[in-house]
Chains A and B, each alone.
Chain A
Amino acid sequence: NAGVTQTPKFQVLKTGQSMTLQCAQDMNHNSMYWYRQDPGMGLRLIYYSASEGTTDKGEVPNGYNVSRLNKREFSLRLESAAPSQTSVYFCASSETGKFGEKLFFGSGTQLSVL
């Protein structure tokens, strides 16, 4: 059972380039999330998808777009990368997104924007 799988693990971009971070879960979870992790700032929510077909902004959505492709997959797109988007990105999922649920995280994507 793989859990939450993220690709790629590492990426270097130049300012202005675009890219898509992929995330897939095999636990039949309804809710999926994208977080970014920066030193001294913890984990901040970028976007989430409470269920297939819905997406909502989180705390820091500017510069990002998401697609909930199907129940398994939730992608994060940077249309025009900026150095401020250098970060470690984590995808997570939970069963229904309701109260008191455990979040299952992927192993992260380390992104550098030069």
Chain B
Amino acid sequence: GENVEQHPSTLSVQEGDSAVIKCTYSDSASNYFPWYKQELGKGPQLIIDIRSNVGEKKDQRIAVTLNKTAKHFSLHITETQPEDSAVYFCAASKVTGGYQKVTFGTGTKLQVIP
């Protein structure tokens, strides 16, 4: 089955700096890569996603890049703010039996220091 590795497990940055989280996947059939943000005491929420026919996607301070050949994708947060502090999960998804199967990474705890 699919295996998604995520690094680093923890990340501390100064407010205003950039943060980068990297993920690799094993199954070349995966073709949809969402990123979820989980704030303390809450469920994960989708913040950005990318499909395999796209190399990069941007939404304000957040961007995701995908390298299909190398099977890795990354989340970039620029000009970090204290409210960016959370746990971030990458995921890889493919269609199995007509429905999407989502495999999550192990999470990165981001701390933005004011």
List A residues at the B interface (Cβ < 8 Å). 4, 31, 40-45, 48, 50, 59, 90, 92, 97-103, 105-108
Contacts and interface: CB of A to CB of B under 8 A. Distances in A.
Interface stretch (B39-47, B56-64, B69-77, B78-86): B39-47
Given A45-B101, A99-B31, 13 more contacts: A40-B9, A40-B106, A42-B107, A45-B102, A90-B44, A97-B100, A99-B100, A100-B93, A103-B46, A103-B102, A107-B41, A107-B43, A108-B41
Contacts of B1: 59
Interface majority SS (helix, strand, loop, mixed), chain A:
loop
Interface of B: 1, 4, 6, 9, 31-32, 34, 36, 41-46, 49, 51, 89, 93, 95, 98-102, 104-107
A7 to B, nearest CB: 14
A91 B31 CA distance: 24
14 contacts: A31-B99, A42-B4, A42-B89, A42-B105, A43-B44, A45-B102, A92-B43, A98-B99, A100-B100, A102-B34, A102-B49, A106-B43, A107-B43, A108-B42
Q: Is the interface of B mostly helix, strand, loop or mixed?
A: strand
Contacts of A4: 43
Contact of A98 (B43, B51, B100): B100
A110 B86 CA distance: 18
Nearest to B94: A99
B45 A42 contact: no
